[in-house]
Amino acid sequence: MKMIRPVCLIFVFLLVFSAIFTGLFVSLEGKAMSTDYSSAKAMCVMESSSKRVLKSKNMSAKLAMASTTKIMTAITALENCPDLDQVFEISPKAVGVPGTSLYLRKGEKFSTRQLLYGLMLVSGNDASVAIGEHVSGSLEEFVKLMNQTAIKIGATNSHFDNTHGLDSKTHYTTAYDLALITSYAMQNNTFKEIVSTKNTKITNSDGKTRYLKNKNKLLNSFEGCNGVKTGFTDDAGRCLVSSAEKDGMNVVCVVLNCQPMFEECSNLMGQALSEYKLYDLTSFYNLPKSICVTNGRTDKAQVGTMGHYYYPLKESEVKAIQIDYQIEQKLEAPVEKGQEVGVVKIYLDKNLLFCEKIFTIDGVRRNSLWQKLFDVLAQW
């Protein structure tokens, strides 16, 4: 029998060790992907109504965002175009714009609504220029509107140089800002309808039809997905903003410079929607139904609040909610309907989430001889 050489034994040992290590790495990688892991350069998952950040990574880093820019282009157009269905002629400036294109031709006629579908489904750079020129008269003026809209929304770490997202040193956003912009845009029903459309067609005034297919694969693969936009340039890398709704809660996920953008957005949104639930925190109130009234026609005045406040919470956080009531113990008649009598504050781990006033629901007249005489005369 031949002796096994030491070199062979070492080789076999290395093979076995490599297999064990590889299996361990795959296991650990799988575990990481099932938690908050993200290979994105920056990411943010936000609940749309409260703007609470549920997950994040480098969310304040200023980065290029490629065609996710068109979210701002679309909402700016929707808010500033008086007639979305007015047909207009495509100018020479909108023809031959580099990058993804609808291949618009000079003199073709479309409506803003039609071009918004071309903008958001197939990412037409030429459509973005045509929209900007039509809405504001010039591309420069429209870009000013985009930046003004960003400030209005609160996206103060963003700056837009163009309508399409082609790379520029001073064209940037953050994952947080882009989530904020998208949450705002998703409140617009027309925007929401457009970005949730999987397939459609647009026909110009000459009868030529273009068939449009949405590039956002999650619309077909993630239950509840309702938008919104893909993007890619050399500087920005692969970018995706996606949105999904479950049990009345809508989350927006932004990943910037992320190679597996669809997979990671799906993973992050799935986690957020399973870990958090949207609660109406005003349903936790334990307000007194009334306040005592002295010298009144009745001895009590009904009280209540007027608002609702929805906020995403983990199950473990529900018990950490604290509500502080500051309310008057007694009122002197007369009491007016809608009179402010206190305030209620909602805290999560000592952080103030919401504050609203407490009002009287009904009025109470003063119980006096003159009041009784006034009532008699009023009925006479």
Is residue 70 annotated as a catalytic residue, yes or no?
Answer: yes
pTM for the whole thing? 0.85
Is residue 123 annotated as a catalytic residue, yes or no?
Answer: yes
Instruction: Note the CATH architecture for domain 42-276.
Output: 3-Layer(aba) Sandwich (3.40)
Give the pLDDT of residue 27: 31
Q: Cα separations (Å) of 283 from 228, 276, 307? A: 32, 17, 10
CB 200 within 8 A of CB 121: yes
**236-271 exposure pattern, b = at least 16 Cβ within 10 A, e = fewer:** bbbbbbbbbbbeebbbbbbbbbbebbbbbbbbbbbb
The answer to whether domain 285-379 has CATH 3.90.1150.10 is no
Measured between alpha carbons, how far is 195 from 197 in angstroms, rounded to an integer? 6
Give the pLDDT of residue 142: 98
Give the pLDDT of residue 14: 45
Q: Which tens digit of pLDDT belongs to each residue from 20-64?
A: 433 333 333 333 333 467 899 999 999 999 999 999 999 999 999
Give the pLDDT of residue 297: 87
Low-confidence ranges of the chain (pLDDT < 50): 1-4, 6-35
- List 50, 101, 123, 183, catalytic entry: 123
Is residue 31 annotated as a catalytic residue, yes or no?
Answer: no
Residues above pLDDT 90, as percent of the chain: 83
Give the pLDDT of residue 372: 63
Q: How would you classify the pairing of strands 290-294 and 330-332? A: parallel
Q: Which of 100, 109, 148 is nearest to 130 (CA)?
A: 109
Looking at the chain, the domain(s) classified CATH 3.40.710.10 span 42-276
Measured between alpha carbons, how far is 64 from 71 in angstroms, rounded to an integer? 14
- List 38, 48, 56, 67, catalytic entry: 67
- List 41, 70, 242, 243, catalytic entry: 70
CB atoms within 10 A of CB 349: 9
